[in-house]
Amino acid sequence: MSDIATVRPPVTATEASVEVMFPRAKKRIRGRSIAVLVFLTMAALFFCVPLYVLVVTSFKSMDQIREGAIFSLPRQWTIEPWIYAWSQACSGITCTGLRGGFWNSVAILFPSLIASISLSAVTGYALALWNVRWTGAFLFLLFLCAFVPFQIIMYPLIVITVGMGIYGTLWAVAFIHTVLSMPVLTLIFRNYYKDIPADLTKAAIMDSGSFWQIFVEIILPMSGNILIVVLIMQVTHIWNDYLIGVTFGGLGAAPMTVNLANMVTVSTGTVAYNANMAAALLTAIPPLFIYFLLGKFFVQGIAAGAIKG
Amino acid sequence: MPSVSFEHIVKKYGEVKVLSGLNLAIDHSDFLVLLGPSGCGKTTLLNLLAGLVDVSSGRIMIGARDVTELDPKDRGLAMVFQSYALYPTKTVEGNLRFGLSALKLPREEADRRIKWAASLLQLEALMGRKPAQLSGGQRQRVAIGRALVKHADVLLFDEPLSNLDAKLRTEMRLEIKKLHEELKPTVVYVTHDQIEAMTMATKIAVMNGGEIQQFGTPDEVYEQPANLFVAGFIGSPAMNLIEASAVWDGERLSAIAADGLHFDLSGYDYCTRHPSQDQPIIIGMRPEHFVIGEPSSSAACSLQLPVRIVERTGSDAILSLSFGSLLIAVRIEPDRAARLKVGELVTVTYPRTKLNLFDAQSGRRL
C-alpha cells in the first residue's frame, strides 16, 4: 500500500486543482515487529559471524593468526593459503592439495545427477499420468524407503557393490547416490506431474499415445521448475556428502569432502588454520555457485495457457 | 463418416454403477448431443467412446469396427476438451502438429493440413504464439483446429463452450454448426446447455442418472417429451406441470385439477392407452403456447389468474401467474407485458393440441 504514491502521476501545477490527495496515516512499527526484527538479526549474526571468521582467517598469514585476534581483518591480504590448500596441502601421505578430491567429486556428481534425475523423472511421470498396476502400493513402498537410514543398509550395499565389481571406484559412489535418492526424487516428480491438468494428458494420449513422445515433447518442457529444484537439491546433497564417499570410494576415489576431512584432521605438526579455512571454503563454493546460477531460471506457472485462464 | 453405436454399455467405478446397460446408436454425419445435468453420465459415455476410460462390459462400434479394446489413438477420433487442453510449451502450430503425431503423415501432407485448418479457423496470424498469449476464444479455435487436422471420422466435444462468455459462446456455436455442415463429420457433443443442444444437434440424447431418458431430434424432444424429467429439463422457462385426475364424461375424456379447474383432453394424441377414471395425471403446458384473451372452441382450458411477476428481457417477456401455491409461466409480447401491473387479473387459454400428458406415477408420457 505504501507504493501508492509512486503509481500516481506527479501532481503538476495545472493538475493540482483536480488531483485530490487522500493523506494516509503512516504505518508505525509495532512492538511485535521489533521483536521479529531483533530475532532475525540475531539469527543472521549467528550464521554470519562464523562465516566472517572463516573468510578473514583464510586470507591471513599464520603469524597474524597466532596473535589470536580472530575478528580482526588481515593486515596483509594473501591468497597463499588458498593456493596451498588447492595444490600442496597434505592429506595423509599425499601432498597434492584438494585438486584430486575436487575432480573426483565432479566425476561422481555428473553420473549421479544424470542417472538419478532422469530415472526418477520417468518413473514419476509413469506413476502420475499412466495407469500403472499397484500404483498405490508402490508409492507407499517408496515412501517407506525414503525413511530407511543409510547406516542400516550400508553393509548389504557394500556387498552388492563388491559383487558388481565397482567397490572402491567413483562408479560405486555414483551408483549408491543414485539408488538412495531415487525414492524421494520419484515422489517429488510424481507429485509435481500429478498436478498437470487431466485434460492435457487425455489430449496427449489421444493425439500421440506414445509414452516417450508425450514425455519428451509435452511433459519435459513443462518440468523446468521442478528440474531446477531437484538439481539444486541433488548437487548440494551429493557434493556435501561424506559418509557414502568415505565408505564406497576407497583410497583412489575419495570425493572432496573426504579429502578435506583428511587434510584438517592432522594430529602432528602445526595446524595451518588459514589453509584449512581456505580448503573448507573451496569445498563449499561449487554448490553455492550452482544455487545462484540456477535460481535465476525459475519461471512461473507450468501450465500457463493450457487451460482456461 | 461412420455411424457410432453403444451396445449394452455398463460402467462401474468399484461398486457404483454409472451406466447400466446403455444402448444408443447414431447414423453417419449425425450431430449427437448428450444433454443432462451434472453427474448424469454423459461425460463418462464420451470418455468411453474416446477410450480414455475402459468399459466394464458392452461393446462400442464405430462404423463396422469394434473399437471397445482399441487404444484411444487408434480409434480414429478427435476430441475437443472443456478446458481446451492446449500444450503450454508449444506454439499454435506446434499444437496442431502434435495433433497429427499418431498418424505418422509425411511432412508435406502434415503441412498442408495445418495450413488448411489454420485458414479455416483464421489462425494464420497466431501460428507462432504460445497458448498463454491467446484469448479464450482463440484458444478454443486452436483446440478445434487440433481436432480437425486429424481428418477424424468422429469428432468429440466435451462441453467446449462452457468456459466462454455469452457473446463468444453464441459465435462459436454458429462456427461449430457451420463446420459440421461443411465437413459433415459424425459429432458427439456433451453439454448441459439446452440452447447448444437445441441449436446444433440433429439428435439429442437426454440423460439422467446414467440412463437415456429420451433420444430423438430436437423437435421431438421439445414437442413430445417422453417423461417428466425431459419435460422439466428442456425449455426455459420450464414447462408448467399441473397435477390433475382423469375424468370420463361419457365418451369424452377430461381432467380436473385443483380449484376445480377443468381441462378438455379430447384431441390429445395418446402414445399409450387412454388413462382410466380417476387416474392421477400431470398436465404439461409450454409457456409460449398460452394465448391471452377469451376462450375459443380449440382451447383445453381457460384460466383467469392474477399477475405475480413480470420479467421482460427485451425480445420477449415472461408473466408469472399465481395458481394456488404454484406459479404458471406464460410467454407474451413485451409491449403487452409493459401494460400489465402486478395483481391484475389476466385471462389465458391453452390450445388442446399443444397439451402434454404424463402418468403421475411412472412419469411417462401418456
- B56 φ/ψ angles, rounded to the nearest 5 degrees: -80, -40
Handedness of CA B135, B141, B147, B149 (dihedral sign): negative
> Closest partner residue to A309 among B74, B88, B136, by Cβ?
B136
Q: What are B74's three cell numbers?
A: 487408434
Q: Which amino acid, one-letter code, is at B321?
A: L
- The answer for residues whose C-beta is within 8 angstroms of residue B82's C-beta and 6 or more apart is A199, B158, B159, B160, B162, B163
- Is B163 in the A-facing interface, judged by CB distances under 8 Å? yes
* pLDDT the model gives residue A19: 64
B136: Cα separation from own chain's centroid: 23
Poorest-confidence range of A1-15, A61-75, B269-283?
A1-15
Length, in residues, of chain A: 309
Considering only CA atoms, which of B159, B229, B223, B165 is closest in space to residue B191? B159
Query: What's the average model confidence in pLDDT over A286-303?
Result: 72
Q: Which of residues 34-53 of B touch A (CB under 8 A)?
A: 47, 50-52
| Closest chain B CA to residue A305 | B132
pLDDT in tens, chain B (366 residues): 688 999 988 888 888 888 888 889 998 889 999 998 888 888 899 999 998 888 888 899 998 889 888 888 888 889 999 888 999 999 999 999 998 888 888 999 999 999 999 988 888 899 999 998 998 888 988 999 999 898 888 999 998 888 888 888 888 889 889 889 988 899 999 998 888 899 999 999 999 988 899 999 999 999 999 999 999 898 888 899 988 888 887 777 888 887 778 888 877 878 777 788 888 889 999 999 998 887 777 788 888 888 999 888 888 889 899 888 888 999 988 888 888 888 888 888 888 888 888 988 888 888
Comparing A54 with B163, the larger pLDDT belongs to A54
| 8 Å CB contact of A210 and B136 | no
| Residues A119-169 pLDDT 10s | 999 999 999 988 888 889 999 999 998 888 888 999 999 999 999 988 888
Distance CA B216, CA B227 (A): 13
- Which residues in B305-321 are b (16+ Cβ under 10 Å) and which e? bebeebeeeeeebbbbb
* pLDDT the model gives residue A2: 45
Q: What's the mean per-residue pLDDT of chain A?
A: 84
CA distances from A64 to A69, A74, A77, A86, B115 (A): 8, 8, 11, 21, 77
Residues A234/A117, Cβ–Cβ less than 8 Å: yes
| 8 Å CB contact of B98 and A217 | yes
Edge to edge, what strands does the sheet with B291-292 contain?
B291-292, B345-351, B299-312, B317-323, B326-332
Distance CA B174, CA A197 (A): 28
* pLDDT the model gives residue A301: 46
- Is B132 in the A-facing interface, judged by CB distances under 8 Å? yes
- Provide DSSP, B315-337: S-EEEEEEETTEEEEEEE-HHHH
Query: What's the average model confidence in pLDDT over A21-26?
Result: 73
Distance CA B351, CA B289 (A): 7
ipTM of this complex prediction, to 2 decimal places: 0.81
Q: Which residue has the cell 602445526?
A: A270
| 8 Å CB contact of A210 and B82 | no
State the Cα angle at A226 between A221 and A230, rounded to 5°: 125
Interface of A with B (CB under 8 A): 197, 199-200, 202-210, 213, 217-218, 221-222, 301-309
* pLDDT the model gives residue A309: 46
- A144 φ/ψ angles, rounded to the nearest 5 degrees: -65, -45
Residues B248/B285, Cβ–Cβ less than 8 Å: no
Distance CA A57, CA A61 (A): 8
Question: If pLDDT is split at 50, 70 and 90, which confidence band does A3 have?
Answer: very low
Q: Which amino acid, one-letter code, is at B74?
A: D
Question: If pLDDT is split at 50, 70 and 90, which confidence band does A9 have?
Answer: low
